[in-house]
Amino acid sequence: MGAPLRKLSGDPECKNGTCPTLWGTDDGNDYVVQGYVINDPEQAVQLDRLVSLSRLPNVTVVVVPLAGRMPDFPMTCFSLHDDRLVIVETFHSEITTRDPRDVQTYVDTFHRFAGVSLSDSLG
C-alpha cells in the first residue's frame, strides 16, 4: 500500500468530482493527475515535461482555470529569474531584460495570474 494522497489543487467550482485534480504524497515522490484522458502523444510529452519541471526547487506549477475572468490577456510567455531578470518570449524573438521597471511589470503580471490560480500558496 502506498503513501496517502492529499489534494494539491483542483477546481473548487467542480460539481461532480470529474474535473482535473492534482494529488500528491507528502514526501513529494508520487503524483496522481485525475482528469481528462490525454490521447495526443505531444500533449503527453508536454505533461511529462511539466511534471519534471515541477520537481525543481525553484519552479512552481499551478493551474489557471479556463473558466472565469483572467487578469490579463497572455500575449507572451515569460520567465522570472528572481527579482533581477526576466526573459520574455515573443512571437519572433526572445528578450532578456534587467531593467527594474521591466522586471517589476512581469512580477506584477505573475502575481495577477497567481491570484486566479487554483493554488492556496500563491497570490
Domain positions in the chain are 1-61, 62-123
Taking the C-alpha atoms of residue 35 and residue 115, their distance in angstroms, rounded to an integer, is: 23
pLDDT of the residue at 121: 58
pLDDT of the residue at 123: 46
pLDDT of the residue at 58: 79
Q: Compute how many other C-beta atoms are within 10 angstroms of the C-beta atom of residue 94.
A: 11
pLDDT of the residue at 95: 93
Q: If you write DSSP's letter for every residue of the chain in order, what string do you get?
A: --PPEEEEEE-TT-SSS-S-EEEEETTSS-EEEES-----HHHHHHHHHHHHHHTSTT-------SSS--SS---SEEEEETTTEEEEE-SS-EEEE--HHHHHHHHHHHHHHHHTSS-SS--
Q: Give the tens place of pLDDT for each residue, 4-40.
A: 777 777 777 777 666 777 777 777 666 676 776 677 8
Least confident among 35-44, 62-71, 101-110: 62-71
Least confident among 20-24, 30-34, 58-62, 69-73: 30-34
pLDDT of the residue at 1: 43
85 pLDDT more than 50: yes
